[in-house]
Chains A and B, each alone.
Chain A
Amino acid sequence: MHIPQELKYSREHEWVQVNGNTCRVGITDYAQQSLGDVVFVELPEIGRVLERGEAFGVVESVKAASDCYSPLAGTVTAVNQELLDTPQLINEDPYGRGWIMEVEIANPDQLEGLLTAVQYEELVREGGA
């Protein structure tokens, strides 16, 4: 399982790539493997204001629908439209072309609450969340 060192992680299996005052968010390799083949993604609307921990979208596999939870408070500035027609990008490239949204960070202090790659790996090894 792939857990890039440079990213931050949530306990709900989202990754966060910080870029100045914005960040890119997706679901982890572990999450996509657990879900299986992704066949549908519901994206948030651009401009939507999210609380930390708020459900912002849905990733659906053949078997089930799973909510995604925002790892940080902020405003959605971009979404990955490519996922609408090719949701399998989440399986194929979860940290790259399978990104889900970009958020303008409301409170940079919340970054401290995220997990490092090492901490996330421990969480996964202990059996998920």
Chain B
Amino acid sequence: MNGEVKKTPLYALHLAAGAKMVDFAGWMMPIQYRGILEEHRAVREQAGLFDVSHMGEIRISGPGSMELVQRLITNDACSLPHGRVLYSPMCQPDGGLVDDLLVYRMGELDFLLVVNAANKDKDLAWIRSHGGAVLIEDQSDTTAQLAIQGPLAATILQRLTPVDLTPIRYYSYVHGRVSGEDCLISRTGYTGEDGFEIYLSPEAAPRLWERLLTAGTAEGLQPVGLGARDTLRFEAALPLYGQELSEGTTPLEAGLDKFIAWHKEDFIGRAALLAQREAGLTRKLVGLAMVDRGIPRPGYPVRCENREIGFITSGTFAPTLGQNLAMAYVEKAYAGVDQGVEVVIRDKGHKARVVPRPFYKRGQ
């Protein structure tokens, strides 16, 4: 990795749109255009367009690719049909998380792993260290990614593509043309809404970005920055690596049990995770709603009975719900819904209580 801050193919368009840019995981990314609250609302009520070209794409293919992928991830890619997408944790031998990622089954022996930008170099080194002679390619620099998310995303995208989007189910994808550009169209996202993630060449990305914005003008489609991406994923209680997930936390603690395929023969971290499951968890990821005034922020301590019992991983004013909410790791004894706790904000305890996750579910 060089020390330079990277730019996505849409960098110039973000500047022209007046976006506020920040360095995120070594990339200059738009944090907001018109404002986080307005962009958040657009995605919940109409649609939003995201530049997520910073995400990493790692291709694993050919002989040995199936065995390698199966060994690396906790979920089961063997039963994954061509055209489907899988979410999975990727663990260390001790069960700590290397990353969380998406696996696209591109062919019988062909897998595309989409990983967090901040972890891409680490993931690539990790995968190669287990890869032996398997073909492992970093396709991050030749892949751009746009996401169109929101209740009107399908309507807008349909206008630009001959591909019938209706039969594409959640966590499925097809190859097809959008506005004349070759794309992988995936019905996935990180907002809690219906929508698509579109992979295409960096050269084509700016053209498609502009055409999508034009096509969605009447519906109120807006460009959306990382600020609202974070509040949207937070309300949907989708974990974020670096906050809920880290090398020091396991998928069991993070509540990702259903993405662990225990029936698989073996995978890295299996023994440690099995032992943790049998011994019982000491802490769990929970949702918190503030009772007192105040916004819980990452790192703030959580207390109960005059003792520190955990810490906040993500917290913010949740725009759709109008509440101050958080996710936090707390000792298991305090993880039950309605448990009263205190969040320490600027050295002062503020009442909060444990609430179910997700905070927001579409259509409710």
A interface, CB within 8 angstroms of B: 36-37, 39-40, 42, 58, 60-65, 84
Contact = CB atoms under 8 A, between A and B. Distances in A.
Contacts of B36: 36-37, 61-63
A42 B231 CA distance: 21
Interface stretch (B129-137, B216-224, B262-270, B292-300): B292-300
A37 B41 CA distance: 13
Interface residues of B, number: 17
B32 interface: yes
A42 B131 CA distance: 53
B32 A65 contact: no
B276 interface: no
Given A36-B36, A39-B295, A84-B293, A58 B346 contact: yes
A36 B35 contact: yes
Contact of A62 (B37, B294, B346): B37
Interface of B: 20, 31-32, 35-37, 227, 231, 293-295, 297, 316-317, 319, 324, 346
Contacts of B319: 62
A26 to B, nearest CB: 20
B322 to A, nearest CB: 10
Contacts of B227: 36, 62-63
A40 B37 contact: no
B297 to A, nearest CB: 6
Sort A-B residue pairs by CB-CB distance and give the 6 closest, nearest first. A39-B317, A37-B37, A62-B36, A40-B295, A60-B295, A37-B35
Most chain B beta carbons < 10 A, residue from A37, A42, A58:
A37
A85 B36 CA distance: 19
Contacts of A36: 20, 32, 35-36, 227
Most chain A beta carbons < 10 A, residue from B32, B35, B293, B317:
B317
Nearest to B20: A36
A19 to B, nearest CB: 29
A121 to B, nearest CB: 21
22 contacts: A36-B32, A37-B35, A39-B317, A40-B294, A40-B295, A42-B294, A42-B346, A58-B346, A60-B295, A61-B36, A62-B36, A62-B37, A62-B227, A62-B231, A62-B316, A62-B317, A62-B319, A63-B31, A63-B227, A64-B297, A65-B297, A84-B293
Contacts of B32: 36
A65 B316 CA distance: 10
A40 B227 CA distance: 17
A68 to B, nearest CB: 13
A65 B315 CA distance: 12
Contacts of A37: 35-37
B325 to A, nearest CB: 12
A39 B231 CA distance: 13
A40 B319 CA distance: 12
A65 B295 contact: yes
Nearest to B38: A37
Contacts of A58: 346
Contacts of A60: 295, 317
A61 B317 CA distance: 9
Given A40-B294, A40-B324, 5 more contacts: A36-B20, A40-B293, A58-B346, A60-B295, A63-B36
Nearest to B32: A36
